[in-house]
Amino acid sequence: MIIRKRLTVGVGILLATLTAGLGSALPAAADEAPAKASPKVELVLDVSGSMRTRDIDGQSRMTAAKQAFNEVLDAVPEQVELGIRTLGADYPGNDRKVGCKDTKQLYPVGPLDRTEAKTAVATLAPTGWTPIGPALLGAADDLKGGDATRRIVLISDGEDTCGPLDPCEVARDIAARGIHLVIDTLGLVPNAKIREQLTCIAEATGGTYTAVQHTDELSGRVKQLVDRAAEPVVTPVATEGADSCSSAPQLKAGLYTDREKLGQHRWYRVDVLPGQELRASVSVFADRAVNNDYGVLLRALTVHGREIVRGSESGTGRTDAISSGLRYPKAETEDTDSEKPAAETVCLQLSNSFSAPASVKASPGMPVELTVDLVDAPDDAADPAAFGLGRGWWLLGVLVLTGLIAGLVFGWISRWRVAVWRTN
């Protein structure tokens, strides 16, 4: 009996020891798993004197920016570390040397306290100069260190006023550091010089330029850019379209960048297997002053020049980007003798109808972003004509037939009424 008790106690102690050992070992094992670094974003806001101007939805640019920031701060993903830097927020004087140093970090990059960040933004008032270059250098230092995704979002309503430090050269220097930091720019004024400078800053680091003239556009675009930092998109691959399909580059599924001159045609090739659906979309960015009427056309053709399907978009008035897309399902083959079904080469032709005043340079071409995707075709892919033009022709045939029948019936009724009238 004593032996049994001692044995029971001994087993209990052994189990307790093992349990404690496992409990301490599990967290250690979990800690050894590499944790993904949190993406970092810094919003850089222009608080120069021109932000007092009231031309955004009936309110000042500064008021619109504050409202947009509050909406953005409410929507920041939990995993994003966010900071805020200002430029031109503190020095109201005329001393250029002092004014060009007027940039500071309003809220440090790190886990976001939404209330604290909103309180900091609420204190801002339009004040001084526009030192964009120094602000970008400061923001790059704010984001340095680690391997996390890093993004600067610059919101400004004017050109840099602190030359000779060119903000475009500053952006190129940041890109040359190899720290994979992207700068996106948003312009609040539709001005050609401002657009040119902000576009240059963005392109130097692989970022984007967007013109915004409404509060909802501003908040929506900044939210989109912050989300993009949280879930980075595929890095675009530079390609160069050809003048004909026969010499066009062969593209696989992915994201591509190119440049296209005003009114130019560019060709690309994609191999589509039976049972696959080709999905392609394109965006052309007007990075210079263009005339008001414009359009973009994306066509899928056979190597013999027969059009399969097209997507087009057009517009009038000021624009910064225009997009279009298409879908083409390749039907399954019934040839079971071949182990590997043959792919069909589809030619993609990109055309634009942009035009510009004679003073605008045609080179380099406008930025193009082309997305190519190959997915399993839908169940009705056996009839490719069900997509694109085919469906349109069926509808046209039905309308013609309906019109013909209606005309015959109306004519018969009219003749019958005339006959009845004559007999009476």
Is there a single domain that holds both residue 243 and residue 225?
no
Q: Which phi and psi (to 5°) does residue 90 adopt?
A: -125, -35
Instruction: Tell me which residue range forms the domain holding 341.
Output: 237-383
Percent of the chain with pLDDT over 70: 82
187-206 pLDDT tens trace:
998 788 888 899 899 988 88
- Residue 6 has a pLDDT of 40
Residue 287: CATH number of its domain: 2.60.120.380
Mean pLDDT of 27-42: 66
Mean pLDDT of 56-67: 94
- Considering its fold, how many domains does the chain have in total? 2
- Residue 337 has a pLDDT of 57
Is there a single domain that holds both residue 225 and residue 274?
no
Is there a single domain that holds both residue 137 and residue 223?
yes
* 76 closest CA partner among 211, 209, 225: 225
Among 367, 383, 399, which residue terminates a domain?
A: 383
pLDDT over 80 at 257, yes or no:
yes
Is there a single domain that holds both residue 188 and residue 291?
no
Is there a single domain that holds both residue 269 and residue 222?
no
- Residue 146 has a pLDDT of 78
- Alpha-carbon 347 to chain mean position: 25
Does residue 32 lie within any of the structural domains? no
Is there a single domain that holds both residue 78 and residue 191?
yes
pLDDT over 80 at 326, yes or no:
yes
Among 230, 260, 279, which residue terminates a domain?
A: 230
pLDDT over 80 at 312, yes or no:
yes
Mean pLDDT of 176-191: 86
372-421 pLDDT tens trace:
999 887 665 544 444 444 444 555 666 777 777 877 777 777 777 767 66
Kindly write down the DSSP assignment for every residue of 73-93, as one continuous string.
Answer: HHH--TT-EEEEEEESSS--S
pLDDT over 70 at 294, yes or no:
yes
Residue 85: CATH number of its domain: 3.40.50.410
Is there a single domain that holds both residue 68 and residue 146?
yes
Alpha carbon distances (Å) from 415 to 129, 406, 410, 412:
83, 14, 9, 5
Rounded Cα distance, 153 and 181, in Å:
11
Q: Which residue has the tokens 């066509």?
A: 299
Cα–Cα–Cα angle for 379, 339, 371, rounded to 5 degrees = 50
136-171 pLDDT tens trace:
999 999 998 877 889 999 999 988 988 788 999 999
Is there a single domain that holds both residue 313 and residue 222?
no
Does residue 202 lie within any of the structural domains? yes
Among 230, 252, 283, which residue terminates a domain?
A: 230
Q: Where does the pLDDT of residue 262 fall: very low under 50, low under 70, confident under 90, or very high at 90 and above?
A: very high
